[in-house]
Amino acid sequence: MIYLLFSIISSSLIYTVFKLLGKFNINTLYAIVINYYTAFFAGYLLLERDFKVTDWLQQSFFLSALLLGVLFISVFKLMAETTRISGLSAVSVASKMSLAIPVVFVIIYYQESLNFLKVIGIITALIAVYFSALKSNKLKNIRLKTLLFPLGVFFGSGIIETLIKFVEEHQVANSDVALFSMSIFFFAAIIGSIAGIIQYKRKAIPFKKKDLLGGIALGIPNYFSVYFFVLALRSFKDASMVFIVNNVSIVLLSTLIGIIFFKEKLIRKNWWGILLAIISLILITLTNQ
């Protein structure tokens, strides 16, 4: 349970740092790139065994980590485009509703048991994250031709969590969790660096000291969000419960942080989302007694 708690706290801290990036006018792309390098070095420092490049290249999860690194950057870009075209609500709903993908996957692939209480808990959780993610009473300018970006966020975010579960189950040894997490961020950092260089050449946006500090502040919780999430998946037999509790709890904690520290105002649907989130957590917990 402690790993799941740390995963929730780490992911919620990412939300907090992202809010601060905007407040201090930090270049998001530059901070994202630095964040991945920071997460990579955090993983290197936490390695549980000696690191050898030749050994690393032969790891069974090497190509999977490369794919995840590509997905991390791609989903970030899709989130940025979705926010620009359809608003923050659209990207929030798409990313949070994506928990349906790994939940369905683990139930079918690992043949996890289902009962009435668990089904109601899953449905309640999905409704909860939808209502909690809304920032206004209607989504902004979502038309058929603009659905491609939020759909990309939905499937991309869901595939990332699903792939992490599959890879950690079949390709990552107990002593290699830090190495696996580090590898994901290494590839994301390389790809992000290329994107950062392209942005600099096109727009000549200068790199500032605060971009470096913002990236470091983002990278530390980002690394631990993946590291502890993998350990949490290994700590429970019921993986669908981990996905639901992790995502719903992040929504709740992030909302509380927004209210307390950033004076965010909630609409009525957000309050309904919070209530349903609490109910879903209770139902899911009861099914695992």
Instruction: Show me where the domains of the chain are located.
Output: 2-287
> Which among 36, 55, 70 has a CA at the least distance from the CA of 221?
36
Mean of the per-residue pLDDT values of the chain: 87
Report how far residue 225's alpha carbon sits from residue 233's, in angstroms, rounded to the nearest whole number: 12
Instruction: Tell me what the mean pLDDT of segment 138-158 comes to.
Output: 74
Question: How many Cα atoms occupy the beta-carbon half-sphere of 15 within 13 Å?
Answer: 24
Tell me, what's the pLDDT at 289? 61
Q: What is the pLDDT confidence band of residue 93, given thresholds at 50, 70 and 90?
A: confident
Tell me, what's the pLDDT at 78? 84
Burial class (CB in 10 A: 0-12, 13-18, 19+), 140: middle
> Which among 235, 3, 12, 242 has a CA at the least distance from the CA of 125?
242
Tell me, what's the pLDDT at 88? 60
Query: Does an H or E element contain 147, and which?
Result: none
Encoded amino acid at 58, one letter = Q
Could you tell me the CA-to-CA distances from 277 to 9, 10, 95 in Å, in that order?
17, 19, 16
Report how far residue 15's alpha carbon sits from residue 223's, in angstroms, rounded to the nearest whole number: 14
